Chains A and B, each alone.
Chain A
Amino acid sequence: MTKTRAPAGPKLRNTWSQIFETGMGARVYPYLMVLPAVLVVVGVVVYPVISGIMTAFYDVTLRTLNTGTAQFVGFRNFERVFADPVFVLASTNTLIWVVLNVVAQLGLGLALALLLHRAMPGIGFFRSGILVPWVVPSVVAVLTWRWMYDPSVGIANEILLKLGILDRNHPWLGDTATSLYAVTVESIWKGTPFVMLLLLAALQMVPRSILEAASMDGASGWRKLWYVILPQIRVSFAIAAVLTFILTVNNFNAIWLMTEGGPLNSSEILFTLAYKYGFQRFDLGKASAVATMLFVGLVIATTVYLKLIQAKEGD
C-alpha cells in the first residue's frame, strides 16, 4: 500500500497571534482580554476599599499623615468610636432614616407605578413630570426644601397654618424633634421617582393574559396585586429595595446640606459622622472605623436580603 501525501500548498506565514490559538496561549487568551478591566476595578474599587479598611487600624491624623508616622493601633479607633455618645445616636438615626426611606419610597414608588401603568390620555406627560424630583440636582432640591422649611417665610408652615394644623410657625429643621423627619421627607420626595421608574418598567413586562385570567376568576384589585402582580415583579422589587437601601445609607447630600447632622446631632447619621471625623477633625483613623462598619453592615444586609429573595424564588 502506498501512502500518498497531500500536495503541499502555499506555506502560511506565522503571526504572533497564533500563539493564542492553541495550547496554553488559548487558555490564557480570555484572561488577557479581561485583564485591563480587572486592573481598573482593582485600582478604583478594590484598592480604595482595602486601603480604607487598613486605615481603620492605624492612628491616621492630619499630623501623622503628613509626617508619615501613622502607627498601627489595632482596634483602638473602633473603641474610640464606640465610646463617643454621638455614635450611638447616629446609629439609631441611621436605622430610622433607612427604614423610613426604604418603606416609604417602595410604597409610594409602587403606588405611583400602578397609577401610571394605565392607558390614558397624556400619560406620557405625567410619567415625565413625576420624574422631575429625581432629575433635579441634589443641591438645588435641598436648597429649595430648606426655604420651604424656613421658620419665618417657608411655604410648609404657611400651608399647615392655613389648614389649621399648626397655630404658629415651626422651625422644622431647627427643632431636634423634627429635623431628621423633615430631611427624610425631602429624601423620600427625591428618591421615589427612581423606584417608580424601576417598578413601572417591571409592570409593563407582566403578561396581560395573566391579569385577564385573574379578572375572569373574579379576583379583586387587592388580590390581583398581592397574588399576581407582586410575584411577577418580585425581582425588580428586590433590586429596587436593595438599591434604595444602599442609596439611602449613602445619601450624604440631603442631610449635610439641610442640617449638617444638627441641631445637636439630632439628624446625624453614620455617614455624616464619618465625614465629620474625617474632614472636620481630620481624624482619618476614626472616620475609617465608622466607614468600615458601614461597609460591612451594607454588605451583610444586602447579602442576607438577596439570599432571602433567592430562597423564596427556589421555593
Chain B
Amino acid sequence: MNIHRKLITGAAALALGLGVGFSPALADNIVFWINSPLASSPDAPIYAELKAFEAETGHTVELQPVAHMEMERNLTVAMSGGAGPDVMALDIAWVAGLANAGLLMDLTEQTAPLAEGYQKGPLASGRFEQRQYALPLYTNNVALFVNNKMLADAGIDKAPTNWEEFREAAIAMTNAEKGTYGLTFGGSRTGAFQLYSFIWQNGGEVIDDEGKVRVGEPESVEAVEFLSSLYTEHKAMPDSVLTANSWDEVNAPFIQERAGMLVSGDWAIAALKNGNPNLDWSVHPLPVGKQAATVIGGYNLAVNANTSVGDASWQLVEWLTGPRSVELMGKYNRLSAAAGAAAPEAIAALPEEIKPFMEQADAGRARPVVAEWSQIHSEVFGTVWDSVLRGQPVADVMSKADAQTKSIMGQ
C-alpha cells in the first residue's frame, strides 16, 4: 500500500467515525458550587451521582461546597466580576435577585418541554418575570417537631393541630422553675422565615401575586401578635429567641430538652439525631390557622450567564434535577422536587419523619419572587420580629414594615 492510498484510507476511516458518532463528544469541565450539607464528606451521595454523570457524558465536574450563609454573597460577588461557577445551587429565595441582575442564564427554552417532570410549586420558584432561570433540586417546607415526652408530661395526648392547641401546648410545657419552654424559635432573619407560614395561615399576605405590598393588613398583624405573645406574654419561648440567628441555635433548646416544640424543616432531622440520639420526638404538619399554609424552601440549580460551557452546564442541571433526583435526594432524607416524588408510592417509601412534610406539601407557599426579597426578608422582617419580641406594639411595627417594604419595592 503506498502512502497516498494510506492517507486516503485513514481520512475515510476518520470521516466514517465522525459520521456515525464514534468519536467522543468534546468534554468540558464544569465548576459546580453546591450548598455544603450536600457534600459534607467524601462519601456524600452527590459524588457518586457526579461520577455517573461524568461517565455518561464525558464531561468532568469540579464540585465546590459553599456554606448556605455565604453562598448568596459569594455568588453575587464572584459572578458580578465575571467569574464564579458554571452551575450553582441556589436557595429558592435568591433566584429573583440574581436573575434580575442578569447573572443567571435564561433556561426557558430548554425547560419548557420538561415542565411536567417537576412539582409545580418548586418549579415556579425558579421563574422570574415569566422566564425560567433555575430548576428545583429539592424542596422542603416547615413542620412541627414535638418532644413526645415533654408533651405527655404536660398532660397532652396528641400534637397540636390548630393555633389554640398550639398555644395551649406551648404554655403547658413551660415551667420557669425547671427552665423548660414550650417552643424554641429563631430571632431576626431566622425567626422571620418561621413567621411567614403563620401570616399566610391567618389569611394574611406579604406581597401578593400582583406585587401589592400587604404587610400592614390586620391578618398579618394578628399572626405576628399570636406568635410574639408566646414570648412576650406567656414566656413560652426561651431567651435564645432574641439571639438565635442560626438553625443550630434554634435547635439547641429542643435538643437539650429545654423546649418541647420546634418549627423547622427537614434539615433539622439530622441535627436532632446527631445532637441527641436518645431524644423522643416526632414530626407533624404545622398547626392550622384559618387555613393550612407552610413556607416552601429548598434549593434550585441554575447556570451562570457568563459560563463558557453552557451546554454541558445545562446537561448537568437536567441530570441532577430529573427523575434521578428522587433516589439521590432520598439518600439525604430530603424531598426531591421531581413530579415522581409526589406519587403515592414514593411518599409511602419515605421515612416516617419525612412523611408529614410531604403530606402538607399542597399547602406550600413560596416566598414572594421579587428581586428585592433578600433585603425585605433580612432588613424588614428580621427587624419586625426583633422589634415585637422586645415589646414594641405589633400594629406600629407592621405599619412601619409595610411602608419600608413599599419603599424598597419602589411603590
On A, residues with C-beta under 8 Å from B are 62-63, 65-67, 150-153, 169, 171, 173-176, 259-260, 262-264, 279-282
Determine whether B80 belongs to the interface, using a CB cutoff of 8 Å to chain A. Answer: yes
Determine whether B119 belongs to the interface, using a CB cutoff of 8 Å to chain A. Answer: no
Set of chain A residues within 8 Å of B97, measured between Cβ atoms: 62
Q: Which size class do B's interface residues fall under?
A: 20 to 34
Query: With the chains together, A66 CA to B77 CA distance in Å?
Result: 10
Selected from B100, B258, B379, B383, the residue in CB contact (under 8 A) with A63 is: B100
B375 near A280 (CB under 8 angstroms)?
yes
Q: Identify the stretch in B196-204, B236-244, B261-269, B328-336 within 8 Å (CB) of chain A at 4 or more residues.
A: B236-244
Query: With the chains together, A94 CA to B378 CA distance in Å?
Result: 22
B102 near A264 (CB under 8 angstroms)?
no
Sample 5 A-B pairs with CB under 8 A, ordered by A number.
Answer: A151-B242, A173-B243, A264-B387, A264-B390, A280-B379
Selected from B76, B256, B258, B390, the residue in CB contact (under 8 A) with A263 is: B390
A282: nearest chain-B partner, CB-CB? B76
Query: With the chains together, A264 CA to B73 CA distance in Å?
Result: 22
- A226 CB to closest chain B CB, in angstroms? 44
Instruction: Given A262-B386, A279-B73, check contact A151 B245 (CB 8 Å).
Output: no
A174 near B243 (CB under 8 angstroms)?
yes
Query: With the chains together, A281 CA to B377 CA distance in Å?
Result: 11
Instruction: Given A152-B253, A279-B73, check contact A171 B243 (CB 8 Å).
Output: yes
Determine whether B103 belongs to the interface, using a CB cutoff of 8 Å to chain A. Answer: yes
A67: nearest chain-B partner, CB-CB? B102
Set of chain A residues within 8 Å of B379, measured between Cβ atoms: 280-281
Determine whether B187 belongs to the interface, using a CB cutoff of 8 Å to chain A. Answer: yes
B181: nearest chain-A partner, CB-CB? A152
- A252 CB to closest chain B CB, in angstroms? 14
Determine whether B8 belongs to the interface, using a CB cutoff of 8 Å to chain A. Answer: no
Determine whether B360 belongs to the interface, using a CB cutoff of 8 Å to chain A. Answer: no
Set of chain A residues within 8 Å of B245, measured between Cβ atoms: 260
A275: nearest chain-B partner, CB-CB? B73
Set of chain B residues within 8 Å of A279, measured between Cβ atoms: 73, 76-77
- B364 CB to closest chain A CB, in angstroms? 27
B76 near A62 (CB under 8 angstroms)?
yes
B80 near A151 (CB under 8 angstroms)?
no
Selected from B76, B258, B383, the residue in CB contact (under 8 A) with A152 is: B258
B188 near A263 (CB under 8 angstroms)?
yes
- B69 CB to closest chain A CB, in angstroms? 11
Determine whether B60 belongs to the interface, using a CB cutoff of 8 Å to chain A. Answer: no
